[in-house]
């Protein structure tokens, strides 16, 4: 062990030994995604019905072809040209199988209309059409009698022996109902406007709330309002980081309008808000307004051009577009992983085979922890190959959905996509939850009271909790952490890890960087000796994405961690490691353990006094594998 650590073999560069044959390796299975698409599209046969000389006429006719109502459902680029598909939508939520498409020929300006050889069927109804009108009327009555939550309404419907709609349907219906009952009529735009004007001056007190930006359009037919509130202390957080967390899923609702928080996180995964916005909607314009507010306020306060490069959000395209409209570029668009899991789990419920479902979920969780994009892309292909080969229609459906939604459209949810940045917005969600329970935030407050709560109870408090300069609050203030923290339990697990005496090999990686390669706890489930030969083979496979089986790849990737250790007295804590803990929390027992072995830090006595638990198991064990995935 000590030998391995002191081995500074500088000449042993993997790069010079291994020829690259990337092209060949890709050729075999590089087309999986394309062929999957073709298979799906080939379900219906189409016949040619009409040729148009220009696209506009074609589109105008297509939407009312044969006196049916057609809506565009997808667009495909093919060799012949772009195909724009329409489905029959005789009624909202209908499920008629009839389809047509327009082919915009690639080689000339003609457009051809094709129709699927299948009959219309207007008897089928999608089960999720909505709440029947009779039930809606009952809900309205219940609502007016004080049953204002989905739970209360469900229980009343049960008593009345009325078939319950889904709770989510009721919840959506209540939002519309509230808007109808109390909406714009009760909100005096004048009241909001006067408040905004009054609060627009930037106060001296760093924790006093002010309106950084507002937009009010007093138009009877189409009134609009947007406002952004913050404090000087909260705005400081903009200077500390270059990523923004904004999420339309995690929000507060007031009178049916979204109250959105924009924020960032620090190296201890703590949450730091910039401020809050009240908007009439969640469209691109609204997010553009929010980001613009940040930009002009930073400019005003610090004379700095604020330009974050990374956005963490749910799938909302409006947030992305709003961000780009203000900051021009977006380097990385991180997809909130919790948002992904929520969606995936709903879809996975269609698969009845429990064992399959669990394994699928574990494979996806493994992919979430992948350390870079090249490996991730390879993993996705192998994952698709593995599960498609089971030839199970339900699984095929899921894989198609997964690839389409969470690879082709939104892939920024794995850790290696942006190392050192959060992969989810759960800190934001937790804070919203706290605001709901701790502060006096109520969905139905009259406008004057709401603005006062926003100012005094929410914004002022969030700012106050983070004031490190004020002698009164500094003891408990949540300061912005630029390095991760090490608590007692992490010291203890570090101490245990050192005692386990895992192999550590120092070698150059594929980029020529000197790395510490660490034997993982699941290494011995699959392999014998953790040595240079083994690591060379694995690095070769990694460099050339030289895998043809998902599970083999998974086993290899989980057998070692790659640690770029900074052997410097001050900076070692900024080292990086590819293990799951470090990807999520920016610090791990491996980094601290190496630091301890290089005598850059010492493990506190109290951590050593906690008795070692069960000794590490030698040899194969299904339990060890599971523990790793959960870790």
596 binds Zn ion (CB under 5 A): no
Closest CA to 492 of 587, 606, 630: 606
**Nearest CB to Zn ion, comparing residues 88 and 399:** 88
Which listed range, 245-253, 388-396, 530-538, 571-579, lies at the site for Zn ion (CB under 5 A)? 571-579
Report in angstroms how near the CB of residue 245 gets to Zn ion at its nearest. Answer: 25
Q: Calculate ∠ Cα 217-219-220, nearest 5°.
A: 145
Q: Choose the stretch contacting Zn ion; rule: CB under 5 A; options: 38-46, 112-120, 124-132, 550-558.
A: 112-120
Task: Give min distance, CB of 120 to Zn ion, in A.
Answer: 3
Q: Output the six-digit token pair for 351.
A: 């698969």
Q: Please state, as a whole number, how many other Cβ atoms lie within 10 Å of the Cβ of residue 168.
A: 10
Longest CA span, the chain:
83
Number of H helices, E strands in the chain: 27, 17
Q: Which stretch binds Zn ion (CB under 5 A): 114-122, 168-176, 245-253, 613-621?
A: 114-122
**C-beta of 498: minimal distance to Zn ion in Å?**
13
Find the binder of Zn ion among 590, 593, 595, 596 (CB under 5 A): 590
Minimum distance from CB of 88 to Zn ion (Å)?
A: 3
Part in contact with Zn ion (CB under 5 A); list of ranges 162-170, 296-304, 351-359, 584-592: 584-592
Asked whether position 595 contacts Zn ion by CB under 5 A, the answer is: no
For residues 216 and 225, what is the distance between their CA atoms, to the nearest angstrom?
A: 4
Which DSSP symbol is given to 125? B
Tell me the C-alpha distance between 277 and 296, whole Å: 15
* Closer residue to Zn ion (CB): 371 or 590: 590
Task: Give the separation between CA 166 and CA 187, rounded to whole angstroms.
Answer: 30
- Per rule CB under 5 A, is residue 98 in the interface with Zn ion? yes
Residue 29 or 564: the one with the smaller Cβ distance to Zn ion is 564
Residues 547-566 that bind Zn ion (CB under 5 A): 561
Closest approach, Cβ 328 to Zn ion, in A, equals 36
> If DSSP codes are grouped into helix, strand and coil, which group holds residue 93?
coil
Nearer to Zn ion, 435 or 579 (CB): 579
Q: Least distance (Å) from Zn ion to the CB of residue 505?
A: 15
Nearer residue to Zn ion within complex by CB, 83 or 589: 589
- Window of 89-97, 184-192, 259-267, 457-465 that interacts with Zn ion by CB under 5 A: 89-97
The residue assigned the tokens 């004048």 is 190
Which residues, numbered 295-334, are part of the site for Zn ion (CB under 5 A)?
none
DSSP-assigned letters across all residues of 266-326 = -TT--EEEEEEEEES--SHHHHHHHHHHHHHHHHHHH-------EEEE-S-HHHHHHHHHH
Least Cα distance to 263 among 297, 236, 303 occurs for 236
The 3-state DSSP class for residue 441 equals: coil
Q: Which is nearer to Zn ion, 31 or 125 (CB)?
A: 125
Binds Zn ion (CB under 5 A): choice among 427, 459, 588, 594: 588
Residues 230-289 that bind Zn ion (CB under 5 A): none
Q: Which residue, 410 or 578, has its beta carbon nearer to Zn ion?
A: 578
Do residues 288 and 322 lie in contact, with contact meaning Cβ atoms separated by under 8 Å?
yes
Q: Using the rule CB under 5 A, which residue among 120, 180, 217, 332 binds Zn ion?
A: 120
Q: Pull the structure tokens for residue 617.
A: 């198991």
Q: DSSP H helical segments within 404-472, as ranges?
A: 426-438, 447-452, 460-464
Region of 303 (left: φ > 0; alpha: ψ -120 to 50; beta: rest) is left
Q: Are 628 and 527 in contact (CB under 8 A)?
A: no
Q: How far apart are CA 360 and CA 353, in angstroms?
A: 11
C-beta of 287 vs 561, nearer to Zn ion: 561
Q: Which of 61, 359 has the CB closer to Zn ion?
A: 61
How many residues contact Zn ion, by CB under 5 A? 10
From the CB of 558, what's the least distance to Zn ion, in Å?
13
- Nearest CB to Zn ion, comparing residues 322 and 484: 484
- Residue among 560, 559, 557, 581 nearest 631 (CA): 581
Helix, coil or strand: residue 336 = coil
* Residue among 14, 62, 88, 244 that touches Zn ion (CB under 5 A): 88
Q: How many angstroms from the chain centroid is the CA of residue 516?
A: 30
Could you tell me which stretch among 120-128, 227-235, 471-479, 608-616 binds Zn ion (CB under 5 A)? 120-128
Strand partners, 52: 111
User: Could you tell me which stretch among 78-86, 117-125, 301-309, 323-331 binds Zn ion (CB under 5 A)?
Assistant: 117-125
- Select 83 or 584, whichever has its Cβ closest to Zn ion: 584
Closer to Zn ion by CB, 91 or 342: give it.
Answer: 91
For residue 521, the minimal CB distance to Zn ion (Å) is 11
210-217/81-88 β-pairing: unpaired
64 contributes a contact to Zn ion by CB under 5 A? no
Cβ atoms 482, 266 nearer than 8 A: yes
Q: Does 91 bind Zn ion (CB under 5 A)?
A: no
Report the distance separating Cα 147 and Cα 604, nearest Å. Answer: 56
What residues between 126 and 155 interact with Zn ion by CB under 5 A?
none
Site for Zn ion contains 582 (CB under 5 A): yes
CB nearer Zn ion, residue 105 or residue 120: 120
Helix (H, G, I), strand (E, B) or coil at 71: strand
Least distance to Zn ion from the beta carbon of 90, Å? Answer: 5
> For 299, phi and psi rounded to 5 degrees?
-60, -45
Annotate each residue in 201-220 with x if it binds Zn ion (CB under 5 A) or - if it does not, as one string. --------------------
Distance CA 428, CA 246 (A): 8
Compute φ and ψ for 230, nearest 5 degrees. Answer: -160, -175
| Site for Zn ion contains 96 (CB under 5 A) | yes
* 579 binds Zn ion, rule: CB under 5 A: yes
Question: Is residue 502 near Zn ion by the rule CB under 5 A?
Answer: no
Q: Determine which helix (DSSP H) or strand (DSSP E) holds 393, and give its type and residue range.
A: helix 393-403
Count of Cβ atoms closer than 10 Å to residue 126 Cβ: 11
In the complex, least distance from residue 591 CB atom to Zn ion, rounded to whole angstroms: 6
88 or 238, CB closer to Zn ion?
88
Least gap, CB of 314 to Zn ion (angstroms): 29
Applying CB under 5 A, the residues found at the interface with Zn ion are 88, 96, 98, 120, 561, 577, 579, 582, 588, 590
């Amino acid at each position: 062990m000590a030998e391995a650590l002191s081995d500074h073999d500088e000449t042993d560069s993997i790069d010079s030994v291994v020829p690259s044959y990337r092209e060949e390796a890709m050729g075999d299975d590089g087309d999986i995604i394309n062929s999957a698409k073709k298979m799906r599209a080939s379900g219906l046969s189409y016949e040619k019905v009409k040729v148009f000389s220009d696209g506009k006429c074609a589109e105008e006719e297509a939407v009312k072809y044969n006196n049916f109502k057609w809506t565009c459902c997808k667009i495909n680029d093919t060799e012949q040209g772009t195909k724009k598909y329409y489905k029959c939508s005789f009624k909202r939520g209908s499920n008629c199988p009839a389809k047509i498409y327009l082919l915009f020929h690639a080689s000339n300006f003609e457009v051809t209309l094709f129709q699927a050889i299948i009959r219309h069927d207007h008897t089928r109804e999608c089960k999720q059409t909505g709440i029947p009108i009779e039930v809606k009327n009952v809900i309205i009555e219940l609502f007016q009698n004080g049953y204002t939550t989905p739970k209360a309404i469900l229980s009343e419907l049960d008593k009345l022996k009325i078939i319950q709609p889904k709770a989510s349907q009721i919840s959506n219906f209540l939002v519309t109902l509230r808007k109808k009952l109390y909406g714009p009529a009760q909100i005096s735009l004048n009241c909001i406007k006067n408040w905004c004007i009054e609060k627009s001056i930037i106060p001296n007190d760093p924790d006093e709330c002010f309106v950084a930006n507002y937009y009010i359009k007093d138009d009877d037919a189409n009134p609009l309002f947007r406002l952004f509130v913050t404090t000087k202390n909260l705005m400081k957080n903009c200077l500390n980081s270059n990523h923004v967390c904004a999420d339309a899923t995690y929000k507060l609702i007031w009178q049916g309008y979204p109250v959105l928080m924009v924020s960032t996180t620090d190296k201890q995964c703590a949450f730091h808000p910039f401020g809050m916005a009240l908007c009439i909607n969640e469209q691109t314009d609204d997010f553009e307004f929010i980001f613009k507010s940040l930009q002009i306020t930073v400019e005003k306060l610090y004379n700095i051009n604020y330009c974050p490069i990374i956005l963490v959000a749910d799938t909302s395209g409006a947030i992305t577009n709003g961000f780009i409209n203000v900051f021009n570029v977006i380097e990385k668009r991180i997809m909130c992983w919790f948002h992904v899991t929520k969606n995936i789990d709903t879809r996975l419920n269609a698969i009845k085979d429990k064992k399959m479902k669990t394994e699928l979920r574990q494979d996806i969780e493994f992919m979430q922890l992948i350390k870079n994009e090249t490996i991730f892309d390879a993993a996705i292909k192998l994952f698709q190959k593995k599960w498609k080969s089971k030839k199970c229609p339900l699984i095929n459906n899921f894989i198609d959905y997964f690839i389409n939604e969470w690879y082709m459209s939104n892939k920024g949810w794995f850790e290696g996509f942006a190392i050192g940045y959060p992969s989810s917005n759960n800190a934001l969600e937790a804070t919203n939850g706290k605001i709901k329970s701790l502060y006096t935030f109520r969905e139905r407050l009259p406008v004057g009271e709401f603005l006062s709560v926003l100012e005094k109870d929410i914004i002022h408090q969030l700012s106050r909790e983070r004031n490190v300069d004020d002698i009164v609050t500094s003891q408990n203030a949540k300061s912005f952490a630029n390095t991760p923290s090490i608590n007692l339990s992490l010291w203890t697990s570090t101490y245990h890890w050192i005692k386990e005496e895992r192999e550590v090999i120092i070698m150059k990686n594929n980029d020529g960087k000197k790395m510490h390669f660490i034997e993982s706890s699941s290494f011995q489930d699959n392999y014998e000796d953790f040595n240079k030969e083994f690591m060379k083979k694995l690095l070769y496979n990694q460099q050339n994405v030289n895998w043809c089986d998902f599970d083999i790849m998974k086993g290899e990737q989980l057998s070692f961690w790659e640690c770029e250790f900074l052997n410097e007295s001050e900076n070692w804590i900024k080292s990086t490691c590819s293990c799951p803990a470090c990807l999520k929390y920016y610090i791990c027992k491996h980094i601290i353990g190496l630091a301890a072995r290089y005598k850059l830090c010492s493990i506190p006595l109290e951590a050593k006094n906690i008795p070692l638990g069960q000794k590490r198991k030698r040899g194969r064990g299904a339990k060890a594998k599971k523990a790793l995935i959960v870790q």
